[in-house]
Amino acid sequence: MTSLNSKKILLGITGGIAAYKSAELVRRLSGQGAEVRVVMTEAAQKFITPLTMQALSGNPVSAELLDPAAEAGMGHIELAKWADLILIAPATASFMSKLAVGDASDLLMTLCLATVAPIVIAPAMNQAMWSNVATQANLSTLKNRNVAVLGPASGGQACGDVGFGRMLEPEDIVDGLSSLWAPGALSGKKVVITAGPTREAIDPVRYISNHSSGKMGYALAQAAVEAGASVVLVSGPVSLEVDPNVRLVSVVSALQMHEQAVAEAAGADMFIGAAAVADFRPVDVAAEKIKKGSSDSMSISMVKNPDIIASVAALVSRPFTVGFAAETQNVTQYAKDKLARKGLDMIIANDVSNARIGFNSDSNAVTVIDAQQSQNFDERSKQQLARDLVAYIAQVMARCS
């Protein structure tokens, strides 16, 4: 399995002669297991046809910002959310200039501004245009904004000039993208992750739960697989697909999750408690559906559930233990208190009061805290955040071992 397997890559093609290489690029990306969608500028369509790119990618090509059919469902925003990464190849001098100033005058630029996914550009232009002070200033701006740059290469150009400005060959671009998701940081390690909510039964038809979608935990499982780990995902009830390389253990209640998580963690190298586990459960579960009757109120006696993450941290032979602190106020302080109180190696704190990055959202922003330091990860897709978190946790774990 390659590091590009199952990645959702949005390929933007701008108007340069190097656009002919984009066809081979799509073929190679698809061959690595990536799902590719193509967006073309008006100028790009002068060099290569949308029909060609559609045939190679297996998906419709997008070109118009105000496409009535697509925009009925806010198509450009959906594309921006869909992508794990946006790759612009070729990226012309004009495109780089627009991206540097935030010009949203066409579909491709709008996607770049609307996404939280990483952006990678493969510049392609005349050697004099590449060395021009304006282009270099734009390049510096983009790099400062964490836009990754692949190339350009030096060599003969279509205009007859020789110098830097050639777009990298498709195989080199694919290698560059693969290095962004380089596997191996957790090679040979067993990682156990909990995800999703738990459901605490009241009677056969009612239960107490929460709004957790499980997206962050499932993304972490995917990222750990990509990093070479053997992954066990202990999941509450969610409606998400799991990577076939992940061993899924499905549970419903907090007691079930506690039993399975502790059993799996006993032989693990890393444990990440991403599940939103119910703190309490009803003392008694009715055997039959409770009837409403004539009363205007109902009381349910509750008992505390066992603390999964603390139980794992208390194991004699314990894994590197990472907890989550989903808070609505005093996020950092509450997370630090939880880190110390439960004896964790690391805690990931996020503000679930922010609807944009809280439960059920597709993006997140967190602060990772351990005994020595803290590290902020600003808003990005949960898939990308998961990869960044797994890489960071693996680095800290290796330093502590």
Strand partners, 366: 377
Tokens coding 147: 């836009």
Collapsed DSSP state (helix, strand, coil) of residue 96: helix
Q: For the stretch 58-77, what's the b/e string if a residue is b when 16 or more beta carbons lie within 10 angstroms of its beta carbon?
A: eeebbbbbeeeebeeeebbe
| Alpha-carbon torsion, ordered 341, 343, 344, 347, to 10 deg | 10
DSSP assignment of 147-183: -EE---EEEE-TTS-EEEEEPPPHHHHHHHHHHHT--
Task: Establish whether 400 is a catalytic residue.
Answer: no
Q: What is the DSSP string of 285-350?
A: --SSPPP--S-S-----EEEPP-HHHHHHT-TTPPEEEEEEEESSSHHHHHHHHHHHTT-SEEEEE
Whose CA is closest to 130, among 102, 100, 153, 101?
Answer: 153
Catalytic position from the list 128, 159, 205, 371: 159
List the catalytic residues: 159
